Amino acid sequence: MDVLCRAIGAAFFLSHDLRRDVELLLLLQNRIQIRLLGERLRHLNPDERSTAALLKRALERLAEDEVESTPGIFVRTGDLPSLLDRLFQVGAHPLMLHEEGTPIESFEIPIDPAFFLSDHVEFTAEDEGILADLPRLSLGKRALHTSQCVTLVHYLLDRREEESHSDLVLCHKVWGEPKALLIKGLLEDFGIPVNLTGHVPAGILPMVVNGLAEVRITVRERDLERAKQIIADYFEQPTND
């Protein structure tokens, strides 16, 4: 019960707020599914005792067809294969979190991901078989608590969300694609994603001078200072005027 309540807290709580776009499915003893739907949740408070009371209430209402035991908490019977089927039916992309998986940083997390985690014990051999086709992603070699993994995944998804809204900023301009590609490769070696765009400066035509076009090197705002420093260390003082 402690593990479940902590996972619920990590999945939904923000400071003085709830994540409304999260859905959490708890599978108990491979026969009971409790579903918490962020957009409808009420009465969820940071103390684990009251969360446990909500789960107890759900268990008391257990039935074959899904029942809403309290606002935003639904309960029904169902095993792991039926839970996985349901995720595919709603268009989610199931993934498994596992210490031995692919490093999560090098994986493009799909839209609407659904992460499978075990509780304080490993997935059983049967679970592993059912989930065998899912991509396995690792948050590092250390075995973390389930709730810690949930927090880390939220952090990564929040960053992705922020980045999708923040525009890339101009870091440097060079003449010629070969040099631009060289700088791009260097910055990427330092873990900085780069976008290159060809550009015709106002009033300067033709665009190509001796076969060289102006190329703009853009990076995320949070990488700007580091990218400029790397370019200055390896090539030249960056120019973005």
Ligand X SMILES: C[S@@+](CC[C@H](N)C(=O)[O-])C[C@H]1O[C@@H](n2cnc3c(N)ncnc32)[C@H](O)[C@@H]1O
Which residues of the chain form contacts with ligand X (CB under 6 A)?
A: 97-99, 117-118, 120, 122-123, 138-140, 142-146, 149
Compute the least distance from the CB of residue 25 to ligand X, in Å: 14
For ligand X, give the closer residue by CB, 46 or 140: 140
CB of 6 to ligand X, least distance (A): 11
- CB neighbours of residue 38 within 10 Å: 16
The CA angle 62-20-162, to the nearest 5 degrees, is 145
Query: Considering beta carbons, is residue 7 or 192 the nearer one to ligand X?
Result: 7
**Neighbour-count burial of 90, counting CB atoms closer than 10 A to its CB (0-12 exposed, 13-18 middle, 19+ buried):** exposed
In one-letter notation, the amino acid at residue 234 is: Y
Measured from the CB atom, the residue of 149 and 180 that comes closer to ligand X is: 149
CB of 207 to ligand X, least distance (A): 48
Q: How far is the CB of 78 from ligand X (least distance, A)?
A: 20
210 sits in which H/E element: none
User: Rounded to the nearest whole angstrom, what is the least distance from the CB of residue 153 to ligand X in the complex?
Assistant: 9
Which residue, 123 or 175, is less far from ligand X as judged by CB?
A: 123
CA distances from 235 to 117, 180, 209 (A): 46, 11, 21
Burial degree of 25 (CB within 10 A; 0-12, 13-18, 19+): middle
Residue 150 CB, nearest approach to ligand X (Å): 9
- Residue pair 98/143 in contact (Cβ under 8 Å)? The answer is no
CB nearer to ligand X: pick between 129 and 201: 129
3-state secondary structure of 123: coil
* Element spanning 191, H or E: none
Task: Closer to ligand X by CB, 84 or 139: give it.
Answer: 139
CB atoms within 10 A of CB 221: 13
Distances (CA, A) of 147 to 6, 85, 113, 203: 6, 24, 17, 57
Q: What's the min distance (Å) between Cβ of 76 and ligand X?
A: 23
Of 10 and 54, CB closest to ligand X: 10
